[in-house]
Chains A and B, each alone.
Chain A
Amino acid sequence: GQQVMQIPQYQHVQEGEDFTTYCNSSTTLSNIQWYKQRPGGHPVFLIQLVKSGEVKKQKRLTFQFGEAKRNSSLHITATQTTDVGTYFCAGQTSYDKVIFGPGTSLSVIP
């Protein structure tokens, strides 16, 4: 079936280091969303990417959507302790279905 994978599953970084999580789909996506879930919290929407090759920035966060619309990445520059949490991508398939990736859990060591 259709799948959305994310790597890595876990990432531990020193505060100030950069962090990247990658999202890969088995099929072409019409769009992709990213969510952040703080420990003990619920997923909160960060951004949606629609166009092939699209790049969007939110302060220290950079989101990319691949040219083939089958992969995406989230890059955080100079991580802070407030970045701790699990980052999920969610891809919308051509069948109008949204599939969540398993998430990347980020720990930041002060």
Chain B
Amino acid sequence: DVKVTQSSRYLVKRTGEKVFLECVQDMDHENMFWYRQDPGLGLRLIYFSYDVKMKEKGDIPEGYSVSREKKERFSLILESASTNQTSMYLCASSLSHSPHTEAFFGQGTRLTVV
């Protein structure tokens, strides 16, 4: 069974802290994505990766960075957390991006920055 696992369901961090959100998939998918979900705004793409060591900016990359050292793992980094980064963060993976195939999502990490 397909699985995308995010390291935490809930996180509370202080303003200015460096925050790491980890995501692992066990499907040997090439593509991985990080989204944030806010009420009324849907899912907004932060960063994505189509291959190991490859990363591309999404629609809202400011304040974030990512790392993909291994195919199965895609990490989202908040360099200096701010209160406006309080949100639900969703990781996803997919087999193909041309065309895009079904995306499998992790359970989400609800991050609160205080």
Q: Does B103 contact A (CB under 8 A)?
A: yes
**What DSSP secondary structure best describes chain A's contact surface?**
strand
Given contacts A96-B97, A96-B98, contact A103 B42 (CB under 8 A): yes
Give A residues with C-beta under 8 Å from B.
6, 9, 30-31, 33, 35, 41-45, 48, 50, 88, 90, 92, 96, 98, 100-103
The listed residue (B40, B99, B102, B106) touching A42 by CB distance below 8 A is B106
Give B residues with C-beta under 8 Å from A.
35, 40-45, 90, 92, 97-108
B107 touches A42 (CB 8 A): yes
Which residues of B lie under 8 Å from residue A41 when comparing CB positions? 107
**What DSSP secondary structure best describes chain B's contact surface?**
strand
Can you spell out 16 A-B residue pairs with CB atoms less than 8 angstroms apart? Answer: A6-B42, A9-B40, A31-B99, A31-B100, A33-B103, A42-B105, A42-B108, A43-B103, A50-B99, A88-B42, A88-B43, A90-B103, A96-B98, A100-B35, A100-B43, A101-B42
Which residues of B lie under 8 Å from residue A35 when comparing CB positions? 103
Which residues of B lie under 8 Å from residue A102 when comparing CB positions? 40-42
Which residues of A lie under 8 Å from residue B107 when comparing CB positions? 41-42
Nearest B-chain residue to A4, judged by Cβ: B42
Which residues of B lie under 8 Å from residue A6 when comparing CB positions? 42
Which residues of A lie under 8 Å from residue B92 when comparing CB positions? 43
A36 to B101, alpha carbons, bound, how many Å? 16
